[in-house]
Structure 1
Amino acid sequence: MDPSDVVSAKSQRLDASAAALVARRTYGFQSIDGTRMGWSSPSLTKLLQTLTSLHDDHSHTFCVSSFYPFRLLFSPEDSMTVSERIDVFGGTICLNPTWTPTQWLDVLQAVTPASMDALSRNQTVLSRGLETLHSDTTGWLPNNTRIIRGYSCSSAEYHGCVLRMVSYTNLLESDDVGLIRNRDTHVVPVANVTTPTTTEDITIPIVIESPQSCRRAVVTAQGSIRIGSGMDAHDIGSGVAQRYPQAITAKRDETRKLDQVSVGFASVQNRFRLERIRKMEHSIVTTDQIRDCLDRLLELGDIHEHEHEH
Protein backbone atom coordinates (compact mmCIF):
# COMPACT_ATOMS: atom_id res chain seq x y z
CA MET A 1 0.00 0.00 0.00
CA ASP A 2 1.27 3.44 -0.91
CA PRO A 3 2.20 5.58 2.15
CA SER A 4 -0.10 8.35 0.93
CA ASP A 5 -3.00 5.88 0.91
CA VAL A 6 -2.25 4.97 4.51
CA VAL A 7 -2.28 8.64 5.52
CA SER A 8 -5.53 9.22 3.61
CA ALA A 9 -7.25 6.21 5.21
CA LYS A 10 -6.17 7.33 8.66
CA SER A 11 -7.49 10.83 8.01
CA GLN A 12 -10.83 9.42 6.85
CA ARG A 13 -11.15 7.31 10.00
CA LEU A 14 -10.48 10.40 12.11
CA ASP A 15 -13.21 12.28 10.20
CA ALA A 16 -15.67 9.46 10.89
CA SER A 17 -14.75 9.42 14.58
CA ALA A 18 -15.22 13.19 14.80
CA ALA A 19 -18.62 12.98 13.08
CA ALA A 20 -19.67 10.23 15.50
CA LEU A 21 -18.59 12.33 18.48
CA VAL A 22 -20.60 15.33 17.27
CA ALA A 23 -23.71 13.22 16.65
CA ARG A 24 -23.39 11.45 20.00
CA ARG A 25 -23.10 14.71 21.93
CA THR A 26 -25.88 16.36 19.93
CA TYR A 27 -28.40 13.64 20.72
CA GLY A 28 -26.99 12.59 24.07
CA PHE A 29 -26.56 8.94 23.02
CA GLN A 30 -24.34 6.88 25.26
CA SER A 31 -22.64 5.55 22.12
CA ILE A 32 -23.16 5.18 18.38
CA ASP A 33 -22.35 1.88 16.69
CA GLY A 34 -22.04 1.70 12.93
CA THR A 35 -19.09 -0.67 12.72
CA ARG A 36 -21.16 -3.73 11.82
CA MET A 37 -22.29 -2.28 8.50
CA GLY A 38 -18.92 -2.59 6.82
CA TRP A 39 -19.21 0.89 5.31
CA SER A 40 -16.23 2.97 4.27
CA SER A 41 -15.17 5.82 6.54
CA PRO A 42 -16.33 8.56 4.10
CA SER A 43 -19.78 6.94 3.78
CA LEU A 44 -20.08 6.61 7.55
CA THR A 45 -19.05 10.24 8.00
CA LYS A 46 -21.76 11.40 5.60
CA LEU A 47 -24.35 9.23 7.35
CA LEU A 48 -23.51 10.72 10.76
CA GLN A 49 -23.52 14.26 9.43
CA THR A 50 -27.01 13.66 8.03
CA LEU A 51 -28.09 12.43 11.46
CA THR A 52 -26.73 15.58 13.11
CA SER A 53 -28.49 17.80 10.58
CA LEU A 54 -31.75 15.99 11.34
CA HIS A 55 -31.42 17.01 14.98
CA ASP A 56 -30.69 20.61 14.04
CA ASP A 57 -33.88 20.79 11.99
CA HIS A 58 -36.31 18.69 14.04
CA SER A 59 -35.17 18.52 17.67
CA HIS A 60 -38.17 20.64 18.67
CA THR A 61 -40.43 17.72 17.69
CA PHE A 62 -38.71 15.22 20.00
CA CYS A 63 -40.38 14.13 23.24
CA VAL A 64 -37.06 14.10 25.12
CA SER A 65 -34.22 16.60 25.23
CA SER A 66 -31.56 13.90 25.54
CA PHE A 67 -31.58 10.25 24.52
CA TYR A 68 -29.13 9.20 27.22
CA PRO A 69 -28.61 6.40 28.27
CA PHE A 70 -29.84 4.86 25.01
CA ARG A 71 -27.19 3.67 22.56
CA LEU A 72 -27.73 4.20 18.83
CA LEU A 73 -27.26 1.18 16.60
CA PHE A 74 -27.21 1.36 12.81
CA SER A 75 -28.40 -1.96 11.39
CA PRO A 76 -29.79 -3.06 8.00
CA GLU A 77 -32.50 -5.01 9.85
CA ASP A 78 -35.75 -4.00 8.14
CA SER A 79 -38.41 -6.24 9.68
CA MET A 80 -38.87 -4.46 13.02
CA THR A 81 -41.71 -2.10 13.82
CA VAL A 82 -41.06 1.39 15.16
CA SER A 83 -41.73 0.30 18.74
CA GLU A 84 -39.44 -2.72 18.39
CA ARG A 85 -36.61 -0.42 17.35
CA ILE A 86 -36.72 1.20 20.80
CA ASP A 87 -35.34 -1.53 23.04
CA VAL A 88 -36.15 -0.67 26.65
CA PHE A 89 -34.46 -3.86 27.87
CA GLY A 90 -31.16 -3.60 26.02
CA GLY A 91 -31.03 0.19 25.83
CA THR A 92 -30.62 0.55 22.07
CA ILE A 93 -32.36 2.54 19.37
CA CYS A 94 -32.01 0.83 16.00
CA LEU A 95 -32.00 2.82 12.75
CA ASN A 96 -31.66 1.42 9.26
CA PRO A 97 -28.84 3.33 7.51
CA THR A 98 -30.57 3.00 4.13
CA TRP A 99 -33.69 4.79 5.33
CA THR A 100 -34.56 8.38 4.62
CA PRO A 101 -34.15 10.96 7.42
CA THR A 102 -37.95 11.11 7.64
CA GLN A 103 -38.07 7.42 8.52
CA TRP A 104 -35.38 7.94 11.16
CA LEU A 105 -37.48 10.78 12.53
CA ASP A 106 -40.46 8.45 13.07
CA VAL A 107 -38.35 6.30 15.40
CA LEU A 108 -36.66 9.16 17.25
CA GLN A 109 -39.99 10.92 17.86
CA ALA A 110 -41.38 7.71 19.39
CA VAL A 111 -38.87 7.86 22.27
CA THR A 112 -40.72 9.27 25.28
CA PRO A 113 -40.03 9.88 28.98
CA ALA A 114 -41.90 6.61 29.59
CA SER A 115 -39.31 4.86 27.42
CA MET A 116 -36.56 6.36 29.58
CA ASP A 117 -38.29 5.27 32.78
CA ALA A 118 -38.81 1.72 31.50
CA LEU A 119 -35.16 1.44 30.45
CA SER A 120 -33.92 2.72 33.80
CA ARG A 121 -36.20 0.34 35.67
CA ASN A 122 -35.24 -2.68 33.56
CA GLN A 123 -31.51 -1.95 33.82
CA THR A 124 -31.75 -1.65 37.59
CA VAL A 125 -33.66 -4.92 37.90
CA LEU A 126 -31.22 -6.71 35.58
CA SER A 127 -28.16 -5.35 37.39
CA ARG A 128 -29.49 -6.46 40.76
CA GLY A 129 -30.47 -9.83 39.33
CA LEU A 130 -27.00 -10.50 37.92
CA GLU A 131 -25.45 -9.40 41.20
CA THR A 132 -27.66 -11.91 43.02
CA LEU A 133 -26.66 -14.73 40.67
CA HIS A 134 -22.95 -13.93 40.69
CA SER A 135 -22.91 -13.81 44.50
CA ASP A 136 -25.16 -16.87 44.90
CA THR A 137 -24.43 -18.89 48.03
CA THR A 138 -26.89 -21.73 47.45
CA GLY A 139 -24.43 -23.56 45.19
CA TRP A 140 -26.84 -24.29 42.35
CA LEU A 141 -24.41 -22.52 39.98
CA PRO A 142 -20.60 -22.92 40.10
CA ASN A 143 -18.87 -20.14 41.99
CA ASN A 144 -16.72 -18.93 39.10
CA THR A 145 -19.30 -18.43 36.35
CA ARG A 146 -20.36 -15.22 34.64
CA ILE A 147 -23.73 -14.84 32.94
CA ILE A 148 -23.77 -12.97 29.62
CA ARG A 149 -26.15 -12.52 26.69
CA GLY A 150 -25.40 -14.35 23.46
CA TYR A 151 -25.68 -12.84 19.99
CA SER A 152 -28.85 -14.78 19.10
CA CYS A 153 -30.72 -13.80 22.27
CA SER A 154 -32.87 -10.69 22.35
CA SER A 155 -32.48 -8.39 25.32
CA ALA A 156 -36.06 -9.14 26.40
CA GLU A 157 -35.41 -12.91 26.33
CA TYR A 158 -32.19 -12.41 28.27
CA HIS A 159 -33.94 -10.24 30.84
CA GLY A 160 -36.70 -12.80 31.35
CA CYS A 161 -34.27 -15.71 31.69
CA VAL A 162 -32.15 -13.89 34.28
CA LEU A 163 -35.24 -13.03 36.34
CA ARG A 164 -36.38 -16.68 36.32
CA MET A 165 -32.94 -17.71 37.54
CA VAL A 166 -33.11 -15.08 40.28
CA SER A 167 -36.54 -16.33 41.36
CA TYR A 168 -35.11 -19.84 41.56
CA THR A 169 -32.20 -18.59 43.68
CA ASN A 170 -34.60 -16.79 46.00
CA LEU A 171 -36.63 -19.99 46.31
CA LEU A 172 -33.55 -21.92 47.40
CA GLU A 173 -32.53 -19.21 49.86
CA SER A 174 -35.94 -19.01 51.55
CA ASP A 175 -36.18 -20.50 55.04
CA ASP A 176 -39.36 -22.44 54.48
CA VAL A 177 -38.62 -23.92 51.05
CA GLY A 178 -35.81 -26.44 50.65
CA LEU A 179 -36.94 -28.33 47.60
CA ILE A 180 -36.17 -28.18 43.90
CA ARG A 181 -38.92 -29.24 41.51
CA ASN A 182 -38.09 -30.84 38.20
CA ARG A 183 -40.29 -31.04 35.13
CA ASP A 184 -41.94 -34.25 36.37
CA THR A 185 -42.99 -32.43 39.57
CA HIS A 186 -40.84 -34.77 41.68
CA VAL A 187 -38.98 -33.03 44.45
CA VAL A 188 -35.28 -33.29 45.22
CA PRO A 189 -33.76 -32.02 48.47
CA VAL A 190 -31.45 -29.08 47.92
CA ALA A 191 -28.74 -30.83 49.92
CA ASN A 192 -28.63 -33.62 47.32
CA VAL A 193 -27.96 -31.26 44.43
CA THR A 194 -24.20 -30.94 43.95
CA THR A 195 -22.51 -28.31 41.85
CA PRO A 196 -18.76 -28.52 41.15
CA THR A 197 -16.50 -25.79 42.47
CA THR A 198 -12.95 -24.84 41.64
CA THR A 199 -10.18 -22.78 43.15
CA GLU A 200 -8.61 -22.12 39.74
CA ASP A 201 -8.42 -18.60 38.42
CA ILE A 202 -10.76 -19.46 35.53
CA THR A 203 -14.11 -17.86 34.77
CA ILE A 204 -16.64 -19.88 32.79
CA PRO A 205 -19.13 -17.75 30.82
CA ILE A 206 -22.72 -18.98 30.85
CA VAL A 207 -24.03 -17.61 27.56
CA ILE A 208 -27.79 -17.23 27.22
CA GLU A 209 -28.95 -17.77 23.62
CA SER A 210 -32.36 -17.70 21.97
CA PRO A 211 -34.64 -20.74 22.43
CA GLN A 212 -34.40 -21.45 18.70
CA SER A 213 -30.61 -21.70 18.66
CA CYS A 214 -30.09 -23.56 21.95
CA ARG A 215 -32.43 -25.96 23.73
CA ARG A 216 -30.01 -27.63 26.15
CA ALA A 217 -26.70 -26.85 27.82
CA VAL A 218 -23.72 -27.27 25.47
CA VAL A 219 -20.02 -26.41 25.74
CA THR A 220 -18.27 -24.35 23.07
CA ALA A 221 -14.69 -24.80 21.92
CA GLN A 222 -13.85 -21.57 23.77
CA GLY A 223 -14.98 -22.97 27.12
CA SER A 224 -18.36 -21.26 27.41
CA ILE A 225 -21.55 -23.04 28.42
CA ARG A 226 -24.45 -22.10 26.15
CA ILE A 227 -28.00 -22.33 27.46
CA GLY A 228 -31.36 -21.42 25.94
CA SER A 229 -33.38 -18.54 27.32
CA GLY A 230 -36.45 -20.79 27.24
CA MET A 231 -34.96 -23.37 29.62
CA ASP A 232 -36.29 -23.48 33.16
CA ALA A 233 -33.89 -22.80 36.01
CA HIS A 234 -33.72 -26.42 37.16
CA ASP A 235 -32.61 -27.57 33.70
CA ILE A 236 -30.09 -24.74 33.57
CA GLY A 237 -28.59 -25.75 36.92
CA SER A 238 -28.37 -29.46 36.11
CA GLY A 239 -27.09 -28.77 32.59
CA VAL A 240 -24.36 -26.43 33.82
CA ALA A 241 -23.29 -28.93 36.49
CA GLN A 242 -23.02 -31.72 33.92
CA ARG A 243 -21.10 -29.64 31.36
CA TYR A 244 -18.87 -27.79 33.81
CA PRO A 245 -15.86 -30.20 33.79
CA GLN A 246 -15.85 -30.19 29.98
CA ALA A 247 -16.01 -26.38 29.99
CA ILE A 248 -13.02 -26.13 32.34
CA THR A 249 -10.96 -28.35 30.02
CA ALA A 250 -11.97 -26.34 26.94
CA LYS A 251 -11.24 -23.05 28.73
CA ARG A 252 -7.72 -24.19 29.65
CA ASP A 253 -7.09 -25.16 26.03
CA GLU A 254 -8.45 -21.83 24.77
CA THR A 255 -6.26 -19.90 27.23
CA ARG A 256 -3.21 -21.74 25.93
CA LYS A 257 -4.15 -20.89 22.33
CA LEU A 258 -4.69 -17.21 23.22
CA ASP A 259 -1.20 -17.08 24.71
CA GLN A 260 0.14 -18.45 21.42
CA VAL A 261 -1.87 -15.86 19.48
CA SER A 262 -0.38 -13.05 21.60
CA VAL A 263 3.10 -14.27 20.73
CA GLY A 264 2.07 -14.50 17.07
CA PHE A 265 0.72 -10.94 17.09
CA ALA A 266 4.03 -9.64 18.43
CA SER A 267 6.03 -11.62 15.86
CA VAL A 268 3.93 -10.44 12.90
CA GLN A 269 3.97 -6.82 14.11
CA ASN A 270 7.73 -6.92 14.38
CA ARG A 271 8.25 -8.71 11.06
CA PHE A 272 6.00 -6.41 9.01
CA ARG A 273 6.50 -3.28 11.15
CA LEU A 274 2.78 -2.92 11.80
CA GLU A 275 1.39 -0.44 14.31
CA ARG A 276 -1.04 -3.01 15.71
CA ILE A 277 -3.04 -6.14 14.95
CA ARG A 278 -6.50 -6.69 16.34
CA LYS A 279 -9.47 -8.97 15.96
CA MET A 280 -12.54 -7.20 14.65
CA GLU A 281 -15.28 -6.74 17.23
CA HIS A 282 -18.16 -9.25 16.97
CA SER A 283 -16.05 -11.36 14.62
CA ILE A 284 -16.84 -15.07 14.36
CA VAL A 285 -13.22 -15.94 13.55
CA THR A 286 -11.96 -18.62 15.94
CA THR A 287 -8.67 -18.60 17.84
CA ASP A 288 -7.43 -21.52 15.71
CA GLN A 289 -8.14 -19.55 12.53
CA ILE A 290 -6.31 -16.50 13.86
CA ARG A 291 -3.33 -18.64 14.83
CA ASP A 292 -3.22 -20.28 11.37
CA CYS A 293 -3.43 -16.86 9.70
CA LEU A 294 -0.52 -15.53 11.75
CA ASP A 295 1.56 -18.60 10.88
CA ARG A 296 0.90 -18.06 7.17
CA LEU A 297 1.88 -14.39 7.44
CA LEU A 298 5.17 -15.34 9.08
CA GLU A 299 5.80 -17.93 6.36
CA LEU A 300 5.09 -15.26 3.75
CA GLY A 301 7.60 -12.99 5.45
CA ASP A 302 10.22 -15.74 5.38
CA ILE A 303 9.63 -16.34 1.66
CA HIS A 304 9.81 -12.63 0.89
CA GLU A 305 13.04 -12.30 2.87
CA HIS A 306 14.53 -15.34 1.12
CA GLU A 307 13.71 -13.92 -2.33
CA HIS A 308 15.45 -10.64 -1.49
CA GLU A 309 18.57 -12.49 -0.37
CA HIS A 310 18.78 -14.29 -3.71
Structure 2
Amino acid sequence: MSERMERQTGESSSSAVKVSKLVKRYGDMLALDYFDLDVHQGEIFGLLGPNGSGKTTAINCILALLTFDEGTVRVFDEPIGPTSYALKRRIGIVPQNVAVFNELTVEENIDYFCSLYVPDRARRHALVEDALDFVGLRDYRRFRPSKLSGGLLRRLNIACGVAHKPDLIFFDEPTVAVDPQSRNAILEGIQRLNHEGATVIYTSHYMEEVEQICDRILIMDHGRHLALGTADELKAMIDTGERISVETDDLGGLHHEAGTQQALEQLRALPCVMSADYDGHELTVRCRRGDHNLLDVLTLLKSNGTNIGHLSSRQPTLNDVFLELTGTALRD
Protein backbone atom coordinates (compact mmCIF):
# COMPACT_ATOMS: atom_id res chain seq x y z
CA MET A 1 0.00 0.00 0.00
CA SER A 2 1.39 3.41 -1.00
CA GLU A 3 2.01 6.22 1.46
CA ARG A 4 -0.87 8.15 -0.10
CA MET A 5 -3.25 5.23 0.23
CA GLU A 6 -2.20 4.67 3.82
CA ARG A 7 -2.85 8.34 4.52
CA GLN A 8 -6.28 8.10 2.90
CA THR A 9 -7.20 4.96 4.83
CA GLY A 10 -5.97 6.38 8.12
CA GLU A 11 -7.46 9.84 7.84
CA SER A 12 -10.48 9.97 5.58
CA SER A 13 -12.43 8.05 2.99
CA SER A 14 -14.80 10.93 2.16
CA SER A 15 -15.44 11.84 -1.45
CA ALA A 16 -13.88 14.75 -3.27
CA VAL A 17 -16.12 14.06 -6.28
CA LYS A 18 -19.18 11.82 -6.32
CA VAL A 19 -21.15 11.32 -9.52
CA SER A 20 -24.24 9.12 -9.48
CA LYS A 21 -26.26 7.84 -12.46
CA LEU A 22 -25.23 10.74 -14.68
CA VAL A 23 -26.99 10.98 -18.05
CA LYS A 24 -26.10 13.48 -20.76
CA ARG A 25 -27.70 13.47 -24.20
CA TYR A 26 -26.87 15.41 -27.32
CA GLY A 27 -30.00 14.89 -29.36
CA ASP A 28 -30.17 11.17 -30.09
CA MET A 29 -26.60 10.56 -28.91
CA LEU A 30 -26.10 9.32 -25.35
CA ALA A 31 -22.79 10.83 -24.19
CA LEU A 32 -23.08 9.66 -20.55
CA ASP A 33 -25.05 6.50 -19.83
CA TYR A 34 -25.88 6.44 -16.09
CA PHE A 35 -22.23 7.09 -15.34
CA ASP A 36 -20.88 6.68 -11.78
CA LEU A 37 -17.68 8.09 -10.31
CA ASP A 38 -16.39 8.34 -6.74
CA VAL A 39 -13.02 10.03 -6.18
CA HIS A 40 -11.70 9.89 -2.62
CA GLN A 41 -10.12 12.90 -1.02
CA GLY A 42 -6.33 12.69 -1.07
CA GLU A 43 -5.86 10.32 -4.01
CA ILE A 44 -4.57 10.58 -7.54
CA PHE A 45 -7.38 9.16 -9.62
CA GLY A 46 -6.87 8.08 -13.23
CA LEU A 47 -9.73 8.49 -15.70
CA LEU A 48 -9.12 6.54 -18.92
CA GLY A 49 -11.14 6.17 -22.08
CA PRO A 50 -10.73 6.40 -25.85
CA ASN A 51 -11.74 9.54 -27.70
CA GLY A 52 -15.51 9.81 -27.64
CA SER A 53 -15.82 7.73 -24.46
CA GLY A 54 -17.36 10.60 -22.47
CA LYS A 55 -14.37 11.72 -20.36
CA THR A 56 -14.55 15.38 -21.35
CA THR A 57 -18.33 15.45 -21.04
CA ALA A 58 -18.12 13.95 -17.54
CA ILE A 59 -15.49 16.47 -16.44
CA ASN A 60 -17.47 19.40 -17.84
CA CYS A 61 -20.57 18.19 -15.99
CA ILE A 62 -18.56 17.88 -12.75
CA LEU A 63 -17.33 21.46 -13.23
CA ALA A 64 -20.89 22.68 -13.95
CA LEU A 65 -19.80 23.81 -17.41
CA LEU A 66 -22.47 21.55 -18.90
CA THR A 67 -26.00 20.79 -17.80
CA PHE A 68 -27.05 17.14 -17.70
CA ASP A 69 -30.32 15.27 -18.06
CA GLU A 70 -30.32 12.95 -15.05
CA GLY A 71 -28.21 12.11 -12.02
CA THR A 72 -26.30 14.04 -9.37
CA VAL A 73 -22.87 15.61 -9.00
CA ARG A 74 -21.37 16.54 -5.64
CA VAL A 75 -17.96 18.08 -5.01
CA PHE A 76 -16.65 17.95 -1.44
CA ASP A 77 -20.14 16.75 -0.48
CA GLU A 78 -21.85 19.83 -1.92
CA PRO A 79 -23.94 20.12 -5.08
CA ILE A 80 -22.16 22.21 -7.69
CA GLY A 81 -23.77 24.63 -10.12
CA PRO A 82 -22.72 27.48 -12.42
CA THR A 83 -22.81 30.00 -9.54
CA SER A 84 -21.07 27.82 -6.91
CA TYR A 85 -18.19 30.28 -6.79
CA ALA A 86 -16.88 29.36 -3.32
CA LEU A 87 -16.71 25.71 -4.34
CA LYS A 88 -15.11 26.49 -7.69
CA ARG A 89 -12.33 28.44 -5.93
CA ARG A 90 -11.25 25.10 -4.48
CA ILE A 91 -10.81 23.61 -7.97
CA GLY A 92 -7.91 23.92 -10.42
CA ILE A 93 -7.89 22.90 -14.09
CA VAL A 94 -4.86 22.18 -16.27
CA PRO A 95 -6.27 21.72 -19.80
CA GLN A 96 -4.73 19.63 -22.54
CA ASN A 97 -4.42 22.61 -24.85
CA VAL A 98 -2.07 25.24 -23.44
CA ALA A 99 -4.23 28.20 -22.40
CA VAL A 100 -2.02 31.23 -21.75
CA PHE A 101 -1.75 34.75 -23.14
CA ASN A 102 1.15 35.28 -25.54
CA GLU A 103 1.15 39.02 -24.82
CA LEU A 104 1.88 38.47 -21.13
CA THR A 105 5.10 37.26 -19.51
CA VAL A 106 5.32 34.02 -17.56
CA GLU A 107 4.86 35.89 -14.28
CA GLU A 108 2.00 38.00 -15.62
CA ASN A 109 0.17 34.94 -16.91
CA ILE A 110 0.36 33.19 -13.55
CA ASP A 111 -0.72 36.37 -11.77
CA TYR A 112 -3.68 36.84 -14.10
CA PHE A 113 -5.06 33.31 -13.66
CA CYS A 114 -4.45 33.44 -9.91
CA SER A 115 -6.37 36.75 -9.74
CA LEU A 116 -9.51 34.94 -10.93
CA TYR A 117 -9.53 33.20 -7.54
CA VAL A 118 -7.51 35.49 -5.25
CA PRO A 119 -8.30 39.22 -5.49
CA ASP A 120 -5.90 40.29 -2.72
CA ARG A 121 -2.72 41.48 -4.46
CA ALA A 122 -0.31 40.90 -1.56
CA ARG A 123 -1.50 37.35 -1.02
CA ARG A 124 -1.47 36.72 -4.73
CA HIS A 125 2.14 37.90 -5.04
CA ALA A 126 3.25 35.21 -2.58
CA LEU A 127 1.22 32.56 -4.44
CA VAL A 128 2.76 33.53 -7.78
CA GLU A 129 6.25 33.25 -6.31
CA ASP A 130 5.41 29.82 -4.95
CA ALA A 131 4.04 28.73 -8.33
CA LEU A 132 7.18 29.93 -10.15
CA ASP A 133 9.31 27.89 -7.78
CA PHE A 134 7.01 24.89 -7.97
CA VAL A 135 7.29 24.54 -11.76
CA GLY A 136 10.91 25.71 -11.95
CA LEU A 137 10.25 28.84 -14.02
CA ARG A 138 11.76 31.51 -11.78
CA ASP A 139 14.59 32.11 -14.27
CA TYR A 140 12.01 32.53 -17.06
CA ARG A 141 9.60 34.86 -15.27
CA ARG A 142 10.15 37.74 -17.74
CA PHE A 143 9.88 35.51 -20.83
CA ARG A 144 6.84 35.52 -23.07
CA PRO A 145 5.33 32.10 -23.85
CA SER A 146 6.56 32.16 -27.45
CA LYS A 147 10.15 32.04 -26.15
CA LEU A 148 9.59 28.88 -24.08
CA SER A 149 10.24 25.30 -25.15
CA GLY A 150 7.29 22.90 -25.30
CA GLY A 151 8.15 21.42 -21.92
CA LEU A 152 8.50 24.82 -20.23
CA LEU A 153 5.23 25.96 -21.80
CA ARG A 154 3.50 22.93 -20.28
CA ARG A 155 4.97 23.86 -16.90
CA LEU A 156 3.56 27.39 -17.29
CA ASN A 157 0.17 25.88 -18.12
CA ILE A 158 0.33 23.91 -14.87
CA ALA A 159 1.41 26.94 -12.83
CA CYS A 160 -1.58 28.92 -14.11
CA GLY A 161 -3.94 26.13 -13.05
CA VAL A 162 -2.55 25.51 -9.56
CA ALA A 163 -1.21 28.87 -8.35
CA HIS A 164 -4.28 29.47 -6.15
CA LYS A 165 -3.53 26.18 -4.32
CA PRO A 166 -6.74 24.30 -5.12
CA ASP A 167 -7.94 21.29 -3.14
CA LEU A 168 -9.06 19.45 -6.31
CA ILE A 169 -7.08 19.57 -9.56
CA PHE A 170 -8.00 18.21 -12.99
CA PHE A 171 -5.03 17.37 -15.22
CA ASP A 172 -6.02 16.65 -18.82
CA GLU A 173 -3.13 15.15 -20.81
CA PRO A 174 -0.51 17.42 -19.16
CA THR A 175 2.52 15.70 -20.75
CA VAL A 176 1.49 15.64 -24.40
CA ALA A 177 4.44 16.30 -26.75
CA VAL A 178 7.02 17.11 -24.05
CA ASP A 179 10.54 15.79 -23.64
CA PRO A 180 11.27 13.03 -21.09
CA GLN A 181 12.93 15.43 -18.64
CA SER A 182 9.92 17.76 -18.61
CA ARG A 183 7.56 14.77 -18.37
CA ASN A 184 9.34 13.53 -15.27
CA ALA A 185 9.29 17.03 -13.75
CA ILE A 186 5.55 17.32 -14.40
CA LEU A 187 4.76 13.90 -12.91
CA GLU A 188 6.90 14.62 -9.85
CA GLY A 189 5.12 17.95 -9.47
CA ILE A 190 1.71 16.29 -9.58
CA GLN A 191 2.80 13.81 -6.91
CA ARG A 192 4.12 16.68 -4.81
CA LEU A 193 0.81 18.54 -5.07
CA ASN A 194 -0.96 15.38 -3.97
CA HIS A 195 1.45 14.86 -1.08
CA GLU A 196 0.66 18.43 0.03
CA GLY A 197 -3.04 17.57 0.20
CA ALA A 198 -4.57 18.07 -3.25
CA THR A 199 -6.87 15.49 -4.77
CA VAL A 200 -5.98 14.89 -8.42
CA ILE A 201 -8.06 13.61 -11.33
CA TYR A 202 -5.68 12.66 -14.12
CA THR A 203 -6.35 11.76 -17.75
CA SER A 204 -3.63 10.57 -20.11
CA HIS A 205 -3.01 8.41 -23.17
CA TYR A 206 0.30 7.32 -21.64
CA MET A 207 -0.54 4.18 -19.68
CA GLU A 208 2.85 4.01 -18.00
CA GLU A 209 2.21 7.44 -16.44
CA VAL A 210 -1.18 6.38 -15.14
CA GLU A 211 0.29 3.22 -13.65
CA GLN A 212 3.16 5.20 -12.11
CA ILE A 213 1.22 7.88 -10.25
CA CYS A 214 -2.46 6.88 -9.90
CA ASP A 215 -3.83 5.20 -6.79
CA ARG A 216 -7.00 4.02 -8.54
CA ILE A 217 -8.03 4.00 -12.18
CA LEU A 218 -11.45 4.04 -13.83
CA ILE A 219 -11.84 2.85 -17.42
CA MET A 220 -14.88 4.16 -19.28
CA ASP A 221 -16.24 3.81 -22.81
CA HIS A 222 -19.46 4.81 -24.56
CA GLY A 223 -20.33 6.96 -21.55
CA ARG A 224 -20.29 4.01 -19.16
CA HIS A 225 -18.19 2.92 -16.20
CA LEU A 226 -16.42 -0.30 -17.30
CA ALA A 227 -13.91 -1.10 -14.56
CA LEU A 228 -12.38 0.45 -11.45
CA GLY A 229 -9.43 -0.49 -9.26
CA THR A 230 -5.72 -0.24 -8.74
CA ALA A 231 -3.50 -1.12 -11.68
CA ASP A 232 -2.94 -4.61 -10.25
CA GLU A 233 -6.66 -5.12 -9.61
CA LEU A 234 -7.50 -4.12 -13.17
CA LYS A 235 -4.91 -6.51 -14.59
CA ALA A 236 -6.43 -9.32 -12.52
CA MET A 237 -9.84 -8.71 -14.14
CA ILE A 238 -8.79 -9.80 -17.62
CA ASP A 239 -8.05 -13.17 -19.18
CA THR A 240 -4.77 -12.05 -20.71
CA GLY A 241 -1.70 -13.38 -18.95
CA GLU A 242 1.81 -13.01 -20.28
CA ARG A 243 2.73 -11.92 -23.80
CA ILE A 244 5.58 -13.97 -25.29
CA SER A 245 7.75 -12.64 -28.13
CA VAL A 246 10.19 -14.84 -30.06
CA GLU A 247 12.56 -13.71 -32.79
CA THR A 248 12.84 -16.40 -35.48
CA ASP A 249 13.23 -16.50 -39.24
CA ASP A 250 12.13 -20.11 -39.60
CA LEU A 251 8.96 -20.66 -37.60
CA GLY A 252 8.17 -24.35 -37.80
CA GLY A 253 11.68 -25.27 -38.91
CA LEU A 254 10.65 -25.24 -42.57
CA HIS A 255 11.50 -22.41 -44.92
CA HIS A 256 8.11 -22.28 -46.60
CA GLU A 257 4.60 -21.14 -45.84
CA ALA A 258 3.20 -24.58 -45.02
CA GLY A 259 5.59 -25.10 -42.10
CA THR A 260 4.86 -21.64 -40.72
CA GLN A 261 1.11 -22.13 -40.96
CA GLN A 262 1.32 -25.55 -39.31
CA ALA A 263 3.32 -24.12 -36.38
CA LEU A 264 0.81 -21.26 -35.93
CA GLU A 265 -2.10 -23.71 -35.93
CA GLN A 266 -0.35 -25.88 -33.31
CA LEU A 267 0.32 -22.84 -31.14
CA ARG A 268 -3.26 -21.61 -31.41
CA ALA A 269 -4.48 -25.05 -30.37
CA LEU A 270 -2.63 -24.88 -27.04
CA PRO A 271 -5.13 -24.36 -24.16
CA CYS A 272 -3.08 -21.48 -22.79
CA VAL A 273 -2.89 -19.51 -26.07
CA MET A 274 -5.36 -16.72 -26.88
CA SER A 275 -3.67 -15.62 -30.12
CA ALA A 276 -0.49 -16.25 -32.09
CA ASP A 277 0.81 -14.00 -34.88
CA TYR A 278 3.95 -14.10 -36.99
CA ASP A 279 5.33 -11.34 -39.27
CA GLY A 280 8.17 -13.32 -40.81
CA HIS A 281 10.70 -12.35 -38.16
CA GLU A 282 8.90 -12.18 -34.81
CA LEU A 283 6.33 -14.47 -33.25
CA THR A 284 3.93 -12.91 -30.74
CA VAL A 285 1.87 -15.19 -28.52
CA ARG A 286 -0.78 -13.82 -26.15
CA CYS A 287 -1.55 -16.26 -23.35
CA ARG A 288 -4.23 -16.75 -20.77
CA ARG A 289 -3.22 -16.75 -17.14
CA GLY A 290 -1.24 -19.87 -16.26
CA ASP A 291 1.79 -21.20 -14.41
CA HIS A 292 3.79 -22.66 -17.31
CA ASN A 293 2.73 -20.81 -20.47
CA LEU A 294 6.30 -20.04 -21.53
CA LEU A 295 7.37 -23.68 -21.09
CA ASP A 296 4.40 -24.93 -23.13
CA VAL A 297 5.14 -22.53 -26.00
CA LEU A 298 8.87 -23.24 -26.05
CA THR A 299 8.34 -27.00 -25.90
CA LEU A 300 6.10 -26.86 -28.95
CA LEU A 301 8.51 -24.62 -30.89
CA LYS A 302 11.42 -26.91 -30.06
CA SER A 303 9.47 -29.99 -31.15
CA ASN A 304 8.88 -28.59 -34.64
CA GLY A 305 12.45 -27.40 -35.13
CA THR A 306 12.05 -23.64 -34.76
CA ASN A 307 15.34 -21.81 -34.24
CA ILE A 308 14.83 -19.29 -31.45
CA GLY A 309 16.65 -15.96 -31.30
CA HIS A 310 15.81 -13.28 -28.75
CA LEU A 311 13.01 -14.28 -26.37
CA SER A 312 10.97 -12.10 -24.05
CA SER A 313 7.96 -12.54 -21.81
CA ARG A 314 6.05 -9.74 -20.12
CA GLN A 315 3.10 -9.62 -17.79
CA PRO A 316 -0.13 -7.82 -18.79
CA THR A 317 -0.09 -4.03 -18.85
CA LEU A 318 -2.83 -1.44 -18.59
CA ASN A 319 -2.82 -1.34 -22.38
CA ASP A 320 -3.82 -5.02 -22.37
CA VAL A 321 -6.57 -4.27 -19.85
CA PHE A 322 -7.82 -1.40 -21.95
CA LEU A 323 -7.74 -3.44 -25.16
CA GLU A 324 -9.63 -6.37 -23.65
CA LEU A 325 -12.28 -4.23 -21.92
CA THR A 326 -12.96 -1.74 -24.72
CA GLY A 327 -11.98 -3.73 -27.78
CA THR A 328 -9.65 -0.97 -28.91
CA ALA A 329 -6.28 0.49 -28.06
CA LEU A 330 -6.23 3.79 -26.20
CA ARG A 331 -6.05 6.08 -29.17
CA ASP A 332 -5.00 9.69 -29.60
Normalised to the residue count of structure 2, the TM-score between the two structures is 0.19
Normalised to the residue count of structure 1, the TM-score between the two structures is 0.20
Question: Which structure shows the bigger proportion of residues in helix conformation?
Answer: 1
Higher normalized contact order (CA 8 Å, seq sep 6+, divided by chain length): 2
